[in-house]
Structure 1
């Protein structure tokens, strides 16, 4: 297990997951979020290759549809 920060909160999670797997583990639907990874907006095309490691920081923003 490793510890990472997600939206300012420390959480434990399995080691060896890529960003897509980590988002799913945390209960997010990857197609409906935008991620800032260690202070950088990470392009969706890189999520599958980006491993999440001890002490990484994620800010996850959920995309909400709406309007009239």
Structure 2
């Protein structure tokens, strides 16, 4: 069974259980560096303190913003 998500408006299928996946594992599966992103989960900012808890389910919506440094 796969975890079916909408990530930044696009459909994704991840080889994880369909319910209860930790956000940190989902980010890794999607190729994101967890230390460089902010995540909105179903319309709410996901606090980092909860990223290891099994809260991501099929049908959920994630908006992932990558932090970019630089400038002058």
Q: Answer 1 or 2: which has greater strand percent.
A: 2
How much does 1:17 deviate? Answer: 2.5
- Listed as ranges, the gaps of 5+ residues in structure 2 are none
Q: 1:63 aligns with which of 60, 67, 71?
A: 67
Matching residue of 1:17? 21
State TM-score, norm by structure 2: 0.87
CA distance in 2, matches of 1:2, 1:20: 14
Q: Answer 1 or 2: which has greater helix percent.
A: 1
Let me know the Cα RMSD of the aligned residues. 1.1
CA distance in 2, matches of 1:31, 1:37: 17
How much does 1:50 deviate? Answer: 4.2
- Listed as ranges, the gaps of 5+ residues in structure 1 are none
The alignment covers a number of residue pairs equal to 68
Matching residue of 2:41? 37
